[in-house]
Structure 1
């Protein structure tokens, strides 16, 4: 407290310190509060000031604090220094609990353990009791905004109620209690937090009796403003608190003057449920109870681990504290050189090229688990280690299922056994399922011009008898084109000049066989020449290139004698791949020309 002319304050103190003695029972004796310190019960962000951040739902924090104040009340008069209260040792018990994320309940009880000063009984001042109970405070806080929920800042409103249960003669009680509305605003910037705490302490005016020597002194309501800057996200954290008061009563009254305190402190997380802390600082000003300096040490139990914001590392990121790999992306739990944030096996040492995992193949499909999207199911590389799709769930993958939308047995290639033409040949092997035929002609009624028991429709050499294993051609002739129900099967590929719709001369012998088969099978009404590209380049360019290549093949066939009306050119670009487009072999297979037979309905 400020040293200087203290006439008003001495009269004020003389009355307060004599409360409880025989002559202090006169009407009008004031109960004078000396303690100015209140804790932040939840201690979220700051030990002393509210930051707008509340405890997470369901968490409880209990704190015990020991405090030493040096010279909270000193009177200097006519060059003589009188320590009314030269030192004070007190303890604070505080607790906070949040039933919901947006609501926090708090309570704190200060206790005077020891206080003492100069013996001024010769001047009419009775020394206050050595110990006693101070004013208990109950509080509630409501947090409409929270950074933990993605808002821009932490904002909370609160109210504290001081109960008049303190020791009056010990300078520890507010007569009638007090009410303190409070507004708290704070924001975290990475490892740093700033906050502002504004309070208005409302209490009735405390007045001293007239003194024959000194004028009357008064203590009343005041505004309390605090600011804090603190570090966050670390096991050892620091904070700087600045707390000031401005009286709402007579500012000329020395007992009710301005004051400001500066406190620097640190706090250390011992384990998940225990924290220790210490603060110290100096006070400046004339307000009652402003010490020359104060020191504090304390311990907290319960919910003492500060929560983390989305994307932040936990304060538990220390080798001797329990945490998960997800909480600490910048640590390396298994010491394999791969940080938790990118380690797919964070609790087992692995290699960098396998994203922190060891080489394993749980399902035995030849694809190691680190690269297998389905590590417990046998799959294919084309599907990233997963089984091929099976839309009808009949156990036959779509790419070999002749009826992918209808369940059927594997021996029937995924189709239900059917015989639409009632020729006792099942549709899945009947090359003419809508026309009754003979088994030797694969279910078709067509004629066999060369008498080799292979229907003209499936005979690559319909005018020369041959064997079935040579697709109906004589032994001396190797067919380059074979026939199925709906398409030509080529033994080679139709080649082009790279990136051009120009036929490679090496493809002429293959295309000449296509001409031969078309001309020897007048029953084929329409042949579609379909050209396909891989997926490299722009889709529109691939579509144009494939169309131009299909036209080039059609034109070659027409030049060799095929009637134009029997041919149609279609370019599909990269829209119909038959193999994995992410591999060079897959892209090679996707670049192709196909010949489809179009039958009338």
Structure 2
């Protein structure tokens, strides 16, 4: 219907100076911030985080008209560029802006239907957007959920089919999560835009609805190396159009990422090409959250609570032994060491001495039966930053815990594996291995003694991270207990 009305108006034109009605031909929206190139994942950048990207976009046959006798390829090839930037303002607010440009486009001579030449270059519709965080997995919620509110400013060049006659507005919801090595996400929203005005021999007429429903879905692999992306976008208006794009994203030096995507377009709506290709680079910088120092009174109360088991200890049968205890047994008289070891109390969570200062403490939760770190862990980035700023060095104590997921022995091994996973991450970030100490407690020290929900059970599947300053030199020979 859009093509028929537009062709009728073109055929009725009497002057070669007449131009195509000004409207924004572009229908594909890209994502600014976290997530894939096409669809976000509902996660916001941390406050102070910055994301900047430059994207090149090629389209094949985005505007083809048919007057009943043949096709007129008004826009056969089109190349555009998109500069976008996003900034994390608050934990629940992220703002962004997009500025598109038409670099080059060409097609059949519009004079065949009585039109003047189409502009080959022009400024596109600038878009300003605010993203509001509603749910976050950082707060141990099941998914990331955000709402986007945006406005398209009427500054685009209509003669280059890059701008509408008035402002446009959009609102959408985005949800995403992580399932092992893949991260799915979904998006749904509505776009309100000015109607395209066409002049026919019968007078003025309006073409097309002034609102469109836009849907999106994406699936991406996780990790730090080469990653794959698959995205689907659909627009529901008087006509339906869809784009299916697949590609890869890979890291570059200096914090840059490069991406390449391509795929077919389906549907007869204006601006639905036969093929698209996207390529570009992005830069993201997110500072770790501000360090939080533990209050001395709160720390003392926490230590007293940890010192009392939440469930009655069974009579010792065979107590799991940590690595450093095995090493200590290998030094000196084995019989004497074993006799002294038998008199010691069971391992307890580490309690700093008065000469030590706790500068950072936090908990990392794990999935059931897993010792893999749950994606991005800001706590560990805080620990790396804090250790790099300590002038006299510091110590990181990692204590692994498990839920009652198996036998006592398997729980002990699982808690040690979780502690080792945290230690491996810190060492890979440049922390000397001699500054990192680990211990495993199995399921002996749960935070929730009788868990009834998955959230309570996850509290027990954890690794506790404690960053301490080195013990201050004293005039006595007293030594603080080593973990």
Mapped pair 1:193 → 2:190 = no
Give the SS at the match of 1:243.
strand
Q: Give the corresponding residue for 2:300.
A: none
Distance 1:71 1:15, change over 3 A: farther
Q: Distance in 1 between matches of 2:472 and 2:421?
A: 21
- 1:375 deviates by 12
Alignment of 1:37-436 (within 5 A): 37-42=28-33, 44-78=34-68, 80-211=70-201, 217-218=207-208, 220-247=210-237, 251=238, 257-271=239-253, 273-303=255-285, 313=373, 341=422, 346=427
**Uncovered stretches (5+) of structure 2, i.e. residues with no partner:** 290-363, 367-371, 378-382, 388-395, 400-418, 440-469
Give the SS at the match of 1:166.
coil
Q: Is the 8 A contact 1:67 1:295 kept in 2?
A: yes
Give the SS at the match of 2:171.
strand
Q: Is the 8 A contact 2:6 2:198 kept in 1?
A: no
Mapped pair 1:33 → 2:30 = no
- 1:60 deviates by 0.8
- 1:235 deviates by 2.3
Distance 1:266 1:316, change over 3 A: farther
Q: Is the 8 A contact 2:170 2:190 kept in 1?
A: yes
CA RMSD of aligned residues (A): 4.2
How many pairs align? 333
Q: Is the 8 A contact 1:39 1:94 kept in 2?
A: no
- 1:182 deviates by 1.2
Q: Distance in 2 between matches of 1:343 and 1:7?
A: 65
Q: Is the 8 A contact 1:262 1:283 kept in 2?
A: yes
Q: Is the 8 A contact 1:69 1:292 kept in 2?
A: yes
- 1:220 deviates by 2.5
Q: Give the corresponding residue for 2:301.
A: none
- 1:188 deviates by 1.4
Q: Is the 8 A contact 2:125 2:152 kept in 1?
A: yes
Give the SS at the match of 1:189.
coil
Q: Is the 8 A contact 2:45 2:286 kept in 1?
A: no
Q: Give the corresponding residue for 1:7.
A: 4
Distance 1:169 1:271, change over 3 A: same
Larger strand share, 1 or 2:
2
Q: Is the 8 A contact 1:70 1:293 kept in 2?
A: yes
Q: Is the 8 A contact 1:273 1:305 kept in 2?
A: no
Give the SS at the match of 2:177.
strand
Q: Distance in 1 between matches of 2:101 and 2:208?
A: 24
Q: Distance in 2 between matches of 1:265 and 1:76?
A: 33
- 1:78 deviates by 4.6
Give the SS at the match of 1:283.
strand
Higher relative CO (Cα under 8 Å, sequence separation at least 6) belongs to 2
**Uncovered stretches (5+) of structure 1, i.e. residues with no partner:** 252-256, 318-322, 330-337, 356-372, 387-601
- 1:300 deviates by 1.1
Q: Is the 8 A contact 2:198 2:205 kept in 1?
A: no
Give the SS at the match of 1:188.
coil
Give the SS at the match of 2:178.
strand
Q: Is the 8 A contact 1:240 1:265 kept in 2?
A: yes
- 1:37 deviates by 2.1
TM-score (norm 1): 0.49
- 1:152 deviates by 0.9
Distance 1:304 1:212, change over 3 A: farther
Q: Is the 8 A contact 1:94 1:106 kept in 2?
A: yes
- 1:143 deviates by 0.3
Q: Distance in 1 between matches of 2:86 and 2:279?
A: 19
Higher mean C-alpha deviation, range 212-221 or range 66-75: 212-221
